[in-house]
Amino acid sequence: MMSDVPLSGKSALVTGGARRIGRAIALRLAGAGADVTITYRTSADEAVETVDAIEQLGRRGFALECDVRSEESVRATVAAAVREHGRLDILVNNAAIFETAALDTLSLERWDAVFETNTRGPFLVSREALPHLRQSSGRIVNLGSLGGLRAWAGHGHYCASKARRKSASIASLRAGLGLKAIGKIRRRASPPRPPCAATGVPMK
């Protein structure tokens, strides 16, 4: 008979786990028995609420302020998460920037900011977490987006960054780094898709 807490004794780290999809993932992991560390950058109040919700499920919750674009911040965060829970079994790279900008108004600074968070961030966190995950035979989960498969008008920088994350995930899979594809979770949890510029209806 399968246990209803299959992750009992395990520890997870969810970047951007204070709200929205990240919060839902953190609570699902806690419900399955894992202790969960979440990171946030500006959502301190929501992080406190999410940790409270994790603890109400009978698991240990821990919140850390982290800028996934910063090597120093990521290094400190992973070390603190491992100290708090004693191990690391699951990394969920969820933190991302989603915004709208027409190509002719998109600045280089905004383009770089999206790529720094959506592409460099998962690389930095995964690299820092990998030694701990190897010790526990753990897993890395990179959240993708339909925008990484089919570009949306007005979201060129976001879609390009998600396509890059998808390519990096495939490369890691082929290198045997323990990534898991969970496209169905992302698809169900995604915010409403942007309208097609030509028709004004959601793209399918």
Query: Catalytic positions, please?
Result: 158
CA distance 40 to 186: 19
How far apart (Å, rounded) are the C-alpha atoms in residues 111 and 161? 9
Output phi, psi for 106, to 5 deg: -80, 120
Residue bearing tokens 């942007």: 194
Cβ neighbors of 68 (< 8 A, separation 6 or more) are 15, 16, 39, 41, 74, 95, 117, 120, 121, 122, 124, 125
Residues 6+ away with beta carbon under 8 Å from 116: 69
Structure tokens of 146? 């339909």
